[in-house]
Chain A
Amino acid sequence: MEALSSPSLPASRPSARRRRRHILPGFHLTLGFTLFYLTALVLLPLLALVLKTIVPTTDYPTFFKLVGHVYDVATDVRSLDSYRLSFGISFIAALINGIFGFIAAWALTRYAFPGKKIIDALVDLPFAMPTSVAGLALTQIFSTHGGYIGQTLFNWFGWRIDYTAWGILIALTFIGFPFVVRTVQPVVADLAVEVEEAAACLGANRWQTFWRVIVPAVRPALLTGVMLAFGRGVGEYGSIVFISGNMPYLTEITPHLIIMKLEEFDYVGAAGLGVVMLLMSLLIVGTVNLVQYFASRRRMA
């Protein structure tokens, strides 16, 4: 090896060496702005929400001493009813979307039919359409008084959609649909036709192939899509408030109750309900990531 002698050069200076750590320019500027904006706009406000719930009271058992009022509000009958509605109906709507979303994803990837591109683009409509417009239109369709369908349903069968949980269910079905389709679609497209052919060659009929080959492959994506639709439904506000009538105990969803608390200047109560919703969202996102994790691990194996 070539010997190097360069006594004239300064020995390496470890302290100076640490100054420049990145090759491309702009690291401090862009990360700095990113962190500042994220903290100022999202993290600090969320922290303010959580801190608002801490109001020490004395007449509660140990843990609840800190958040006594919030405990009262969060476990109030009206709150419990609103959770039941928000979570229960969101769950049912997510299941409905699971079925119809899968059918749509299947049809859109496997069949050729006229207008396919337009239908495919239409699936994203609930993403792009403002929720209040959706709410207004759905109300006009399902209203008992002069609604396009609602009037007929009421006159012929005595069914009410508006001002009932059915209305909420319809609004949430509208909102959640694209989540399932867009999560399942790429997986159906990637399903190797060879696997199905192999199954068919082994003597499986179409029905067996469906249950034993297709369903297991699509299940993680379907579950993810359903969870996403569920998560979105739990927090949904705009499309529901028009059609549901927001009657306490009956058709009042949790986000609406939060707004009511704010209008009564019960900031602590509103914050408490906000934290409950935040925790639920966290749980749902955690579940989605868990599903993804196990799905990707199985793919590796």
Chain B
Amino acid sequence: MSVAVQHISKKFGAFPALNDVSLKVRTGELLALLGPSGSGKTTLLRVIAGLEIPDDGQVLFEEEDVTEKSAYERRAGFVFQHYALFQHMNVFENIAFGLRVLPRKKRPDAAKILARVTELLGLIQLDGYEKRLPSQLSGGQRQRVALARALAIEPRVLLLDEPFGALDAKVRKDLRKWLRHFHDQTHLTSLFVTHDQDEAFELADRVVIFNQGQIQQIGAPCELRENPQNDFVREFLEV
């Protein structure tokens, strides 16, 4: 599914977090939002998920205008920077949550939920961890559970907010590889926010460079390096 935002503006008090931002994410693309902290990239991700209401502009999923839809109707898979796992639920219950809160008619039965969660646990390589609580997992494991939880509802788009920000270098590298591999297999339309250039350039099909609530440039990694459009991009990428 493609995702588009059109003329999105958002202010927090007097601070303009997003200023007339328009962007289209193509179906099956892995896109990185890159920029210094406070540049508005996380806010844009939250606007797309329905966790922030824009002052102006529209959000489109495919051709459908979802601007007025609440987050739970949009059902975009969202992975939070600090995981936001349900602390009182074990790994199984966390991953199954999205299935268990489905309306009765659409809700799969217990056997199907078990099968789906087991499949996801295999995917994130955490078989046998069903009964652990989030507090008993390492940072990288928590992040993978958060990912599995978001994937359980079979989202049309996957949104990741600084997915590797709180992890140490080694785990970061592994998880990065894993995510690229996962995306190559599923081609799920994905956006991720990062402030780490290497991460953006290594992972993404295209990179969006943000500053002060505005898009500075969009392009494939090599394109950006070879042809920076303005001084900010040039300095930011140090080319």
Residues of chain A having any CB pair with chain B under 8 Å: 1-2, 4, 6, 8-10, 12, 14, 16-17, 19-23, 25
Contacts and interface: CB of A to CB of B under 8 A. Distances in A.
A262 B59 CA distance: 64
Contact of B58 (A1, A9, A20, A25): A9
7 contacts: A1-B22, A1-B215, A2-B22, A6-B6, A6-B60, A16-B68, A23-B51
B70 A4 contact: no
A10 B52 CA distance: 21
B57 A23 contact: no
A22 B51 CA distance: 9
A4 B22 contact: yes
A19 B70 CA distance: 11
A23 B71 contact: yes
A1 B218 contact: yes
B24 interface: yes
B65 A10 contact: yes
Contacts of B70: 20, 23, 25
Contacts of B218: 1-2
Contact of A12 (B23, B58, B217): B58
Given A21-B53, A23-B71, A9 B23 contact: no
Interface hub of A2, A4, A22 (most chain B Cβ within 10 A): A2
Nearest to B49: A23
B50 interface: yes
A17 B22 contact: no
Contact of B6 (A4, A16, A23): A4
Contacts of A25: 70
Given A2-B24, A2-B218, A4-B22, A20 B6 contact: no
A35 B224 CA distance: 54
Interface hub of A1, A9, A25 (most chain B Cβ within 10 A): A1
B7 interface: yes
Determine the main DSSP class of B at the interface with A: strand
A20 B68 CA distance: 7
Contacts of A14: 56
Nearest to B218: A2
B179 interface: no
Interface in B16-74: 22-24, 50-53, 56-58, 60, 63, 65, 67-68, 70-71
Contacts of A16: 68
Interface in B166-207: none
Given A6-B6, A17-B56, A23-B70, 15 more contacts: A1-B22, A1-B217, A2-B218, A4-B6, A4-B22, A9-B6, A9-B58, A9-B65, A12-B7, A12-B58, A17-B68, A20-B68, A22-B53, A23-B52, A23-B71
Contacts of B1: none
A16 B58 CA distance: 12
Nearest to B65: A9
A102 B22 CA distance: 62
B4 to A, nearest CB: 7
Which 5 residue pairs of A and B lie closest in terms of their CB atoms, listed nearest first?
A4-B22, A23-B51, A2-B24, A2-B218, A1-B215
A8 B65 CA distance: 11
Contacts of A4: 4, 6, 22, 24
Contacts of B24: 2, 4
B22 A20 contact: no
Contacts of B58: 9, 12
B53 A2 contact: no
Given A20-B70, A21-B53, A23-B53, A2 B23 contact: yes
Contact of A23 (B50, B56, B215, B217): B50
Contact of B57 (A10, A12, A20): A12
A12 B56 contact: yes
Interface hub of B50, B51, B53, B57 (most chain A Cβ within 10 A): B53
A1 to B, nearest CB: 6
A17 B56 CA distance: 8
Contacts of B51: 23
Nearest to B5: A4
Nearest to B72: A25
A19 B22 contact: no
Nearest to A11: B58
